[in-house]
Chain A
Amino acid sequence: MSEVALLQLLGLGVIGVGVLILLFIQSRFPRVIGFVMIVLGIFSLVALSVPQMASLPPAEEKFDVASIKTANDMAVIGQKIFFSKGQCALCHSIGPSESARCPDLKGIGAKLSREFIYESLTQPQAYIYLDYRHEGPPKDYPARMPHINKNPIGLTNNEILSVIAFLQQMSGEPITISPSEITMPGQPVPVSATAPARGPSSPSPAKSKAKGKTKKADMGTAGLVAMVPGAIVQ
């Protein structure tokens, strides 16, 4: 007997008991219970008469280092991380969106160097913006961006590099992350990952599009991204 048939039988049974109570018991309170049973039984039967669809979970994406052969493989994994574990899409959109709470990332891979993106992900407060939307001296406008390599998100270095690869690919740029930069399990993180060497397409500091951000710490190449919509960049 199928689960639906079993539940239908149960529903009918509940209704039957309710009817019997109403037929043979005169005491008021049990009669009310019988009435409630009939109502609940009918509700259950109606719910069983509509299409029965369960929602099954999709297979979980695993970051399989061994499967990475090309830069495109990294971008594919980076895309999955962007929309799942990385939680990037919780706030950022790719393309204009009314509901996005943080900057649109469309074309971000073309605007920013990989170093700057890496820094923005791991040290979002490295540069702060000044907010002039009030009287008096400007105030710091700290980024709402969390440290993506720390809890609760806690992306690994490999995962961050993959996300950068995805952002570059999505922007129509050549991917400057090389699969050789991926660290194997147990292998120490290379220096190049945390302070990456400038890739062929990386703009030099002189070429960077930074416009008057207040540098809080010497964190490498600067780029331009309006971290907070509406914040006036000095």
Chain B
Amino acid sequence: MRNHEALQGQDPGRLNLWGLSVVGLALLAGLLGVPVAGWAEDAASASAAVSYRDIPQLGGSRNIIWVVAQLHLLLAGFVLGVPIFAWLCEIVGWKTGEKRYDKLAKEFTKLLTSSYATTALFGGILLFLLISFYPKLMTYLTDIFFPSFIAYCGLFLLETATLYLYWYGWDVMQEGRAKVFHLFLGFLLNFFAFFIMVIPNSWATFQASPVVIAEGSNVARAWAATWNPTWWPVNIHRLIANVVLGGYICGAYAGVRYLSAKSAEEREHYDWMGYVGNFIGVFGLLPLPFAGYWLMREIYQYNQQMGITLMGGFLSWLFILQAMLIGVLFLGSNYYFWLGITHRIPGAEAKYKKPIMAMLVILLLCLGVWMTPHSLVASLEEARKLGGTHHPLLGVFGVMSAKMTVANLMILVTFMSFIMYWRAGKEETATWAKLARAVMSGVLGVAAIVVIVLGVWGYFVPAIVRINYFSVAQVLIVIFVMLTITPLTALLLRSARTTTEMIWGRMPPRAGYALVLNAVMVILLMTLMGYARSSSRVHWHIYGVMRDNSEYAYSPALGYAAAFMSLNTFLFCMLVAFIFWVATMGDKAKAGHGAMPAMAGGSPELDRSKAH
């Protein structure tokens, strides 16, 4: 190992210091003991002013931090997303009396205990590595954020205690007031988890959008630094993204189990679980682009140069990849809905074939526009022939006005896919059903037209008008559509008659793969945008405040970065698979003794028989 001033670093952007957990620290003290002893010789001779340390033999400090921080962040997203998912399911089960929701919630809470420890473990590793590799930066951040470090530790203890109560008290607190208290514990779990997320967000966002800190008490300085311009946009964006991650991972788990299910009952159950996971994933996915738009807006407002680096500079191609991943995610989610309509509802295929085809065409067209780059990859000669790097016809799709428009249209289509699935196999009997359907069609049609008109108009107004008014209006219109059609459909279906019962467990194997694909897309997206956020700081540890003076002060090209994204995604998938496997080992043992596997949810029949 070598110590020197001008070595390492760039990547504490991914350095979300999420895991200062006591558990992780305790485990790691032992785990890291051996290598630390080996490095002690170097460390002893190092001066107190060491800025960077490195282990080039293991790929360099930045790459090590990249992998560890990304895995920690993904696990953190998972353990923060799953409680939201589990709590929502528990509430649904409590309100509707359907025990399978309660069981689903319990099963996923069980996963929390093992995944929580793994997350803390990676948090501990990350913390040790950061202190070792970036002592100067960590000293600076500690000086500013010390009070929030303490608050964070306190929250972690509260979260841990609440998780224990929530999990171990599940069976005891099933009825009456005890159940209400259990739901309250679930609320507390999410409440603490939210603050466990927002505190480290303040450290990471301070690195990207620091504010100047005047003198004052430790708390006042930490508070000032915490309230930096991108803190809340990131908080909201991550909160929603965690729900999406939790939902899609649940879906992927169900997909894998569905593929290997041996009995009809298992198939039914995991088919249903996949549906719930996909539904929650889509539920979060729809508002996510709006949160992303807000974040990007704040970045532009904070520092135009940083915005340009992201959207028009060396990172601009990254957004083409982002479009591809989001596009595949939208397609995958819709595809799963469509498979559900055509396979779970007998006779629905003929009825819905045309609308599905129309939606597929719209989605593909929108994806094509979204993925059209602003400038083409062209040789000098090709560019001369074109008369520039902009394609004479397609170039018009390469700008934000077009991309905002198609993003909103894709959200609308996905929303309508969900509504279509919701209404399939039912016949509305309300007297005002015809009027309601006309209103919904009208709202949807007018909204789509207005979104397109604003998109086209956006070409003819100054950028500031488009950004401040047109894009915001497009977003508000889509939100209005959701807020109008969702309650209207719910009201309509309250009195609806079921014409065709939904039959679970009839999905083809490709549905399972679609669920896995969706989860992989979400994970890849998180790794991609982590790279974007970190690289937008270019050669600064803390943008404009503390420069990265190491040999890693450059941002690598997309291809190189994508290799790490893929590696991190793969490792995370394997980790989650391991956690699921460990968590369900006990169930398999029980199943081997003649009992039914305690699968999340179980079939309605099983629920009924157990209830009696």
Do A and B assemble together? Answer: yes
Q: Taking beta carbons and an 8 Å cutoff, which residues of A are in contact with B? A: 3-4, 7, 10-11, 14, 28-29, 31-32, 35-37, 39-41, 43-44, 46-48, 50-58, 60, 84, 87, 89-91, 98-99, 101, 124, 142-147, 150, 152-153
Q: Output the nearest chain B residue to A3 by Cβ-Cβ distance.
A: B560
List 10 A-B pairs, minimum CB-CB distance, nearest first: A47-B562, A57-B539, A48-B559, A52-B557, A28-B260, A55-B555, A40-B566, A53-B314, A57-B553, A50-B317
Whether A55 pairs with B321 at a CB distance below 8 angstroms is: no
Is B517 in the interface zone, CB < 8 Å from A? yes
Which chain A positions have C-beta within 8 A of B496? none
Q: How far is the CA of A58 from the CA of B303 in the complex (A)?
A: 18
Chain B residues bordering chain A, tally (CB within 8 A): 56
Whether B377 pairs with A43 at a CB distance below 8 angstroms is: no
Interface residues of B in 515-562 (CB under 8 A from A): 516-517, 520, 524, 535, 538-539, 544-545, 547-549, 553-562
Whether B317 pairs with A51 at a CB distance below 8 angstroms is: yes
Whether B210 pairs with A39 at a CB distance below 8 angstroms is: no
Proximity bits, B343-367, A CB within 8 Å = 1, else 0: 0000000000000000000000000
Is B188 in the interface zone, CB < 8 Å from A? no
- Known contacts A40-B570, A48-B559; is A146 also within 8 Å of B212 by CB? yes
What are 9 residue pairs bridging A and B, where the CB atoms are less than 8 Å apart in the complex?
A: A3-B559, A35-B513, A36-B570, A46-B324, A55-B555, A57-B553, A90-B210, A90-B212, A142-B214
Whether A40 pairs with B520 at a CB distance below 8 angstroms is: yes
- Known contacts A91-B212, A145-B214, A152-B545; is A36 also within 8 Å of B573 by CB? yes
Q: How far is the CA of A39 from the CA of B524 in the complex (A)?
A: 10
Whether A28 pairs with B560 at a CB distance below 8 angstroms is: no
Which chain A positions have C-beta within 8 A of B562? 43-44, 46-48
Number of interchain pairs (Cβ within 8 Å): 138
Which chain A positions have C-beta within 8 A of B569? 40
Distance between B179 CB and nearest chain A CB, rounded to angstroms: 36
Which chain A positions have C-beta within 8 A of B570? 36-37, 40
The residue from A39, A47, A54, A55 contacting B517, defined by CB atoms under 8 A apart: A39
Distance between B58 CB and nearest chain A CB, rounded to angstroms: 19
Whether B549 pairs with A60 at a CB distance below 8 angstroms is: yes
Whether A35 pairs with B213 at a CB distance below 8 angstroms is: no
The residue from A29, A46, A56, A99 contacting B321, defined by CB atoms under 8 A apart: A46
Is B320 in the interface zone, CB < 8 Å from A? yes
The residue from B214, B538, B566 contacting A124, defined by CB atoms under 8 A apart: B214
Whether B539 pairs with A7 at a CB distance below 8 angstroms is: no
Which chain A positions have C-beta within 8 A of B302? 99
Which chain A positions have C-beta within 8 A of B144? 152
Distance between A125 CB and nearest chain B CB, rounded to angstroms: 9
Is B215 in the interface zone, CB < 8 Å from A? yes
The residue from B143, B213, B321, B539 contacting A146, defined by CB atoms under 8 A apart: B213
Whether B557 pairs with A54 at a CB distance below 8 angstroms is: yes
Q: How far is the CA of A11 from the CA of B570 in the complex (A)?
A: 13
Q: How far is the CA of A58 from the CA of B538 in the complex (A)?
A: 10
Distance between A196 CB and nearest chain B CB, rounded to angstroms: 23
Which chain B positions have C-beta within 8 A of A54? 314, 554-557, 560
Q: How far is the CA of A7 from the CA of B557 in the complex (A)?
A: 12
Which chain A positions have C-beta within 8 A of B309? 55
Q: How far is the CA of A47 from the CA of B566 in the complex (A)?
A: 11
- Known contacts A50-B317, A55-B538, A87-B544; is A32 also within 8 Å of B259 by CB? yes
